[in-house]
Structure 1
Amino acid sequence: MNALLAANAVAGVASVAFALVGGVRPAALSGSGTPSAGERFYGWMYATRAVPLGVAAVLVPIAWPGPASSLILSAAAAAQVGDAAIGVATRKWTMIAGASLLTAVHTATAATTA
């Protein structure tokens, strides 16, 4: 259980880090040379949602294991499924792999903390 909580914490921190990079330097994730105003806007819009969810995914299973933890982790896993789908649509294999791994970790943690 402790190893799974640690893996979940690493997954949540990674998710927060990528969200912040997307907000601060959207071109680093999109691959565009110079990000447009719209790209910067959507980078920050994504970060304002992903950062709190990632922080909750790290802290809630440790502080409040049980149904609340399972719900938060299921929401985090669903967000990662969406990220993987975007990766498929844009053919970004690292995004597919990373989001799929985080989906599995959040789902496994949700199942064991419920």
Structure 2
Amino acid sequence: MQNFWLFPNLLASTGSLVGGIIAFTNPSALSGSSQVNDGELCYQRMYTARALPLGILAGVLPFYHEGPVVASIILAAATIQAVDVTIGYSKGDRGMMIGASVATVIHTFFFFSLD
């Protein structure tokens, strides 16, 4: 598959994957909390459980396969990143808004470039 968006998509997926690893290893790094409570740990683990498999699938699968399954995964990744923009906005987290916005745009352009 010759597609300009393969590598930007891989980078965006890797960013989400790295965020999941950071959330798992150091939950306070993403939340900014000085003391992480049980509820916060639960949500950060949920984020990790989503980010790791989806980041791997969305980033790597398009290099090996084509078709509706890949398109569905890329669309899911774009949708999740768009929701993350909204969450970042509600928290006033400019970094989250920027990073998730860039990933949303990349995943969306990649989705529309798929055959």
Bucket of the pairwise TM-score, normalised by the shorter protein = over 0.9
Task: Pick the structure with more helix per residue.
Answer: 1
SS in 2 for 1:74: helix
Per-residue deviation at 1:55? Answer: 0.7
Q: What residue in structure 2 maps to residue 59 of structure 1? A: 60
Q: What amino acid is the match of 1:112?
A: S
Q: Which residue of 1 aligns with 2:19?
A: 18
Amino acid at match of 1:51: L
Partner in structure 2 of residue 85 of structure 1: 86
1:104: Cα distance to partner?
0.6
- In the alignment, the residues of structure 2 paired with residue 104 and residue 73 of structure 1 have an alpha-carbon distance, to the nearest angstrom, of 11
Give deviations 1:65-95, integer Å, cap 9, x for gaps: 2222111100000000111000010010110
| Secondary structure class of the residue paired with 1:51 | helix
TM-score (structure 1 length as normaliser)? 0.93
Consecutive aligned runs of 4 or more in structure 1 exceeding 2 Å deviation: none
* Gapped regions of structure 1 (runs ≥ 5): none
Paired AA for residue 43 in structure 1: Q
Residue 2 of structure 1 deviates from its aligned partner by 4.6
8 Å Cα contact 2:75/2:107 also seen in 1 = yes
Cα distance in 1, alignment partners of residues 70 and 27 from structure 2: 31
**C-alpha RMSD over aligned residues:** 1.2
Alignment of 1:1-114 (within 5 A): 1-114=2-115
With normalisation by structure 2, the TM-score equals: 0.92
